[in-house]
Amino acid sequence: MLQPVEVERLLVIVAHPDDVDFGSGGTMATLTAHGVHVTYCIVTDGDAGGSDRAMSRAEMASMRRKEQTAAAATVGVHDLIFLGYPDGRVEASLALRGDLSRVIRQVRPKVVVGQSPERNYDRIFASHPDHLATGEATLCAVYPDARNPFAFPELLEEGLEPWTVDEMWIAGHPVMTDIVDVTDNVDRKFEALRCHASQLPDPAAMEVRVRQWMAATAVAHGLAEGRFAEGFRVLRLV
């Protein structure tokens, strides 16, 4: 089981506003409760989200930034970086790898939490194409780009020295190797999720579904009935 006290500084990289709250909001609340400094990097503004056709996409993007900022605050996260890539069109491009390498060198985290580049057929909603592309670009930025002084030399010109990430925790991966017991902070996770009102036509049904996922993860990894957990595929890189 992952122990939050062992982490000093952590960076989360996800495709959309609300991704971190669905995948690891309880973990973030648990980490910050233990004094871990957490930064979110959101690749898109989620401008393709929602179902209100009368709302401009610029308005939706602005709303979703505000929702994510409010959600982050409920779990103790106050540092957010929005890259502004177009929602629904993310690719694991060199440009995105360079931008993520820049963020890693700026934040200098011990751990990066990212999305899975592998499709999960048991939880298909975790495998949105933007998630897969962001997961691949994140993994490439973590290794080898951010640690390689000769990758993206313009970063050195900006004064950003290479940085080696110790671990990557992959959320939504088909194979979970480690879990975080989030039982004590599960209510904060749902408080964060409810901040994403523009994306939740039925918040009550969402909560039932997500609680079932977390309960199943807890039981599958040996926790007692009534506990909740979030799972990750952990890569140890040093």
In the predicted model, residues of the chain with pLDDT beneath 70 are 4-5
Check residue 4 and give its pLDDT: 65
The beta-carbon contacts of 218-224 under 8 Å, at least 24 apart in sequence, are 218/179, 218/181, 218/183, 220/176, 221/1, 221/176, 221/179, 223/179, 223/181
Cis peptide bond upstream of 144, omega within 30: yes
Element (H, E) at 107: helix 94-107
pLDDT at 118: 96
What SS3 class is residue 197?
helix
Provide the pLDDT for residue 181: 97
DSSP state string for 59-105: HHHHHHHHHHHHHHHHTT--EEEEEEEPTT-----HHHHHHHHHHHH
pLDDT at 169 (0 to 100):
98
At residue 50, the pLDDT reads 81
For residue 86, the model assigns a pLDDT of 96
According to DSSP, the β-strands at 9-14 and 229-236 are unpaired
pLDDT score, position 52: 82
What's the number of domains the chain is made of? 1
pLDDT tens digits, one per residue of 184-231: 999 999 999 999 999 999 999 999 999 999 999 999 999 999 999 999
75 conformational bin, left if phi > 0, alpha if psi -120 to 50, beta if neither:
alpha
How many whole angstroms from its chain centre is CA 94? Answer: 20
DSSP 174: S
d(CA 136, CA 43) in angstroms, rounded, equals 13
Note whether 181 and 224 are within 8 A (CB): no
DSSP 223: P
* Domain CATH number, residue 150: 3.40.50.10320
State the pTM of this model. 0.96
Where in the sequence is the domain holding 59, given as residue range(s)? 4-236
